[in-house]
Amino acid sequence: MSMKINHELPLPEVLKSQYPLSQELKEVKKQRDEEIRRIFTGESDKFIVLVGPCSADNEDTVCEYVRKLKTVADKVSDKLMIIPRVYTNKPRTTGDGYKGMLHQPDPDKAPDLLAGIIAIRKMHMRVMQETGLSSADEMLYPENRSYLDDILSYEAVGARSVENQQHRLTASGMDIPVGMKNPTSGDLSVMLNSVTAAQHPHHFIYRGNDVETSGNDLAHTILRGGVNQYGQTIPNYHYEDLIHLSALYAKKDLKNPAIIIDANHSNSNKQYKEQIRIVSEVLHSRNYNPDLRKLVKGVMIESYLEPGAQKIGCGQHVYGKSITDPCLGWDDTEKLIYDIAGLLGPVTREMAVPLYVAVSTDTGCFVYGNTTADTHRTAAALMETGIPAAELNKRHFRTKTLKRLRIESRIVEGMELFDGGETAVAAVDLAMVAQLGADERDLEDIASFVGQVEGVKNAITIRELRPGTCKLSLRTDPEVLNASRVCALLGGGGHAAASGATVEGSVEEAKRAILWAIEQVRHG
């Protein structure tokens, strides 16, 4: 026999006891599950957005991403149900390549499934603990979902697994929505047969046990496009495709008919930017046809902190950039989510206020580099609802506490300039904060202040968190200096224009560290 046993994996009950879900998190998941169920049963008209990286390859970057997602989710919660994609298993067509955190907790090291099952459970728990958002994952191995069945609020069965009997039968015993993707061939009958199987009760072997299931009335379809006999991608998100699937649903006796549109994969031909257009088209199809409005429950979007993709071991690893399929970057994702909320129907004055604040703050009151013509059009549409835009702008951009002004004054007094005035370093130490009696509200977004100085292209703010530990924030002109690459050298990351890192040492040591990192990036 050529099969070697590396580890005997713990039983799911054992792992759960070692890494238990708190009562508070159990309640969070219960409430989320109930709300998601109401969407699939038609009791709620909220629209589902399943969004996140193609592969959750790093706990810190995933959690940073979901924290950003949480901020947006709170602003659109009246219309959207945001479910973060935290996909820890990756199917591989040929069996080669990165198979996800379950296999490789560290993508640069050899597979270790024992460490992997621990890592993915801890990551899913941390996501929920830090954000209150329960997540989605792919059911690549039916037996392994038992390690996460108390955490996940949504699961998908992939195109390569949807014909597998064990996947279908396991789905029939789940109490959360499970989406069945069409196979890579694009055959819709295979997908619908899988839904039918998942909704029926079954009697089978699972993890060495004789089990019975009652059927899952939340099993549904996911359209992800297909590939024909010539290797050409065939999208299936268009209006005619949705009408066709609606007709097929009508011929079957299935509970809670529902469609989720996967905007990437064969629908976009992995042209990740196309996801924006595809989602828009799907929403317009829903708005045009009332039947589709009831049937199409949501979209699935691949997104990460940075746009595109990179290869494992590429040398210049970019923090928060996909190591599998290319993904939308955060800026495009954030705007897309707001656009989805706007396309779902009329935006009331009450709904427009948080959306306008989100748009204006994310663009620095329309002065940051991410401001586009579309940004202004969106803001204009929100202003037409009658929101007090001037009052909101004054409150968020022109009103500061006296303590904040004093902090800014002290920062200017102690600021150091380098590179002929293009690089500025400012420090906020514990003594300053204590002396002025400042709190977190007074220090909010202090990192953006230094960049307001004329001539400064690289703004560095050093915040002393506690004796011997400092937080570095770097704001740059990405055409001149990539902030993410700089901070990555110090164990941090972020975006090309705004990144950060936490370093051990004094303020002076932190300053030397960030200046050293800048030089390293500049000179390769």
> What is the model's pLDDT at position 241?
96
pTM for this structure?
Answer: 0.77
> What is the model's pLDDT at position 416?
92
> What is the model's pLDDT at position 3?
83
* CB atoms closer than 10 angstroms to residue 277: 12
In the DSSP assignment, the letter for residue 47 is E
Where residue 98 falls (left for φ over 0; alpha for ψ -120 to 50; beta otherwise) is: beta
d(CA 149, CA 207): 14
Helix (H, G, I), strand (E, B) or coil at 287: helix
> What is the model's pLDDT at position 314?
64
> What is the model's pLDDT at position 73?
95
Strands 226-227 and 233-234: antiparallel
d(CA 92, CA 159): 11
d(CA 214, CA 122): 30
d(CA 31, CA 25): 10
With contact defined as beta carbons under 8 Å apart, do 134 and 33 qualify? Answer: yes
- The domains of the chain are located at 24-345, 346-399, 402-522
397-422 burial, b for 16+ CB within 10 Å, e for fewer? Answer: eeeeeebbebbbebbeeebeeeeeeb
The tens-digit pLDDT sequence of the chain (524 residues) is 688 888 889 999 999 999 999 999 999 999 999 999 999 999 999 999 999 999 999 999 999 999 999 999 998 999 999 999 999 988 877 777 788 899 998 888 889 999 999 999 999 999 999 999 999 999 999 999 999 999 999 999 999 999 999 999 999 999 999 999 999 999 999 999 999 999 999 999 999 999 999 999 999 999 999 999 888 999 999 999 999 999 999 999 999 999 999 999 999 999 999 999 999 999 999 999 999 999 999 999 999 999 999 988 766 678 889 999 999 999 999 999 999 998 887 677 877 787 788 788 777 788 777 788 878 888 888 888 888 888 888 877 777 788 888 888 888 888 999 988 899 998 998 999 899 888 877 777 777 888 888 888 999 999 998 999 999 999 998 888 988 889 889 988 777 788 888 889 999 999 999 999 999 998 87
> What is the model's pLDDT at position 315?
63
Strands 154-157 and 209-213: unpaired
> What is the model's pLDDT at position 263?
97
Q: Which of 153, 155, 128 is nearest to 63 (CA)?
A: 128
Percent helix, strand and coil across the chain, each to the nearest 5? 45, 20, 40
Query: One fold for both 24-345 and 402-522?
Result: no
Where residue 442 falls (left for φ over 0; alpha for ψ -120 to 50; beta otherwise) is: alpha
Contacts of 22 (CB under 8 A, 6+ apart): 129
Task: Count the alpha carbons within 13 Å of 358 in the hemisphere toward its beta carbon.
Answer: 24
Fold for the domain defined by 402-522: Diaminopimelate Epimerase; Chain A, domain 1 (3.10.310)
- CATH among 3.20.20.210, 3.40.50.300, 3.10.20.90, 3.20.20.70 for 24-345: 3.20.20.70
Strands 423-428 and 469-476: unpaired
Strands 178-181 and 154-157: parallel
With contact defined as beta carbons under 8 Å apart, do 180 and 171 qualify? Answer: yes
Q: Could you give the C-alpha distances from 424 to 182, 455, 475, 498, 510, in angstroms and in order?
A: 54, 10, 10, 15, 14
> What is the model's pLDDT at position 499?
85
